[in-house]
């Protein structure tokens, strides 16, 4: 969930909406876009990230969040049972 907040902040700094489409107003926002994002088709950008957790519930929360559509489905890696607060 911390990672989701990070990507939400970085997306805003680079002028991306919650779907990864550039809607910024400055060329500076595009200058180093490739550090954090890969450009996909249709002027859409996707995070260069793999989100990992031991249980699927956290990943479901990220997907259902405001920037859940930013990630590709194969960016999520999770187990079927958590650590049980160990």
pLDDT digits (tens, 9 = 90+) for 28-41: 999 999 999 999 98
* Averaged pLDDT for residues 74-83: 80
Count of the separate structural domains present in the chain: 1
Give domain status of residue 84, yes or no. no
Give domain status of residue 29, yes or no. yes
Which tens digits make up the pLDDT trace of 23-71?
999 999 999 999 999 999 878 999 999 999 888 888 889 899 999 899 9
Q: Which residues pair with 47 in a beta bridge?
A: 37
Strands 51-53 and 44-47, sheet pairing: unpaired
Question: Domain residues for 39?
Answer: 2-78
Identify which of 29, 26, 25 has the alpha carbon closest to the alpha carbon of residue 10. 29
Give domain status of residue 48, yes or no. yes
Q: How many CB atoms lie within 10 A of CB 54?
A: 14
**Which backbone phi and psi does 57 adopt, to 5 degrees?**
-60, -40
pTM higher than 0.85 for the full model? no
Give domain status of residue 85, yes or no. no
Give domain status of residue 83, yes or no. no
Provide the percentage of residues in the chain whose pLDDT is more than 90.
55
Give domain status of residue 22, yes or no. yes
The burial class, CB within 10 Å (0-12 / 13-18 / 19+), for 65 is: middle
Give domain status of residue 86, yes or no. no
* CA atoms within 13 A of residue 14's CA, in its CB half-sphere: 26
């Amino acid at each position: 969930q911390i990672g989701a907040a990070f990507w939400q902040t970085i997306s805003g700094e680079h002028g991306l909406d919650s779907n990864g489409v550039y809607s910024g107003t400055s060329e500076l926002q595009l200058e180093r876009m490739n550090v954090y994002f890969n450009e996909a088709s249709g002027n859409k950008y996707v995070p260069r990230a793999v989100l990992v957790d031991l249980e699927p519930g956290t990943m479901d929360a990220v997907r259902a969040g405001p920037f859940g559509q930013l990630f590709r489905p194969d960016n999520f890696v999770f187990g079927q049972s958590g650590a049980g607060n160990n």
